[in-house]
Structures are given as structure tokens and as C-alpha cells.
Amino acid sequence: GDSVTQMEGPVTLSEEAFLTINCTYTATGYPSLFWYVQYPGEGLQLLLKATKADDKGSNKGFEATYRKETTSFHLEKGSVQVSDSAVYFCALSYYTGTASKLTFGTGTRLQVTL
């Protein structure tokens, strides 16, 4: 079946460091790919998405490119801030004709220190 694999955390960085969180997927077709972020005690928020190969999603300084050849969707940010500390989830979805079903990775916790 479909699956998403993320690098294990926690990832600990100093403020203004470069961030990469790796995400690879296994899928039989061509899913849409997403990054969600979860702050402590809250639900998930959509961070960015890409719906086809070579698309780049971006939001709030975060970027990820849909790489079909490597089945990857790595999350990057050039300069992290303390406020970026959260858990990040990579996910894929297929549209079934009536609904999109999301499959999530296990999440990667990011801790940014001063």
C-alpha cells in the first residue's frame, strides 16, 4: 500500500540555520503531496502542497519540490526561527472521485534554539 517515510527527530537547530526534513513516499500512482505543521496542543495546519511532478510548494519561507524520479518531497527552509519549533508531517493523498484520503508520515519534531 501507499506509505510515507520521514526522517526521525528530533531535529535540533540554532536560529538562522538551514533546515532539511527528508520525506520519501511509496505510491502506485501519482499522488498529491503535502507538508502539515502541528504546534503543541493544536491540530494540524497545511503548510504547503504540490499536486504533480516538479511542482514546488512554498509558504512562510518553507519549500518542497515534488520529485517523481526519487519519490521524494523534502522540506527546506533557509533560516529557521524559534517560532518554527513544531512537529512537521509529510503526507500524500489520492482523489477517489468523491474524497481525498491522506496518508501521513510519523512526523518530525523540530526544535530551534537561540
Partner 1 sequence: DGGITQSPKYLFRKEGQNVTLSCEQNLNHDAMYWYRQDPGQGLRLIYYSQIVNDFQKGDIAEGYSVSREKKESFPLTVTSAQKNPTAFYLCASSPDREDGGYTFGSGTRLTVV
Q: Which residues bind partner 1 (CB under 8 A)?
A: 32, 34, 36, 41-46, 49, 51, 89, 93, 95, 98-102, 104-107
In whole angstroms, the minimum distance from the beta carbon of 58 to partner 1 comes to 14
Q: Are 47 and 60 in contact (CB under 8 A)?
A: yes
* Residue closer to partner 1, measured from CB, 55 or 76: 55
- Say if residues 48 and 63 touch (Cβ distance below 8 Å): yes
Residue number, 59 or 71, with CB nearest to partner 1: 59
Query: How many residues are there in the chain?
Result: 114
Helix ranges restricted to H, 1-114 = none
Q: How far apart are CA 34 and CA 92, in angstroms?
A: 6
Minimum Å gap between C-beta 103 and partner 1 is: 8
User: Closest separation between CB of residue 114 and partner 1, Å?
Assistant: 26
Q: In this complex, which beta carbon is closest to partner 1, that of residue 106 or of residue 113?
A: 106
Residues 100, 32 contacting (CB under 8 angstroms) = yes
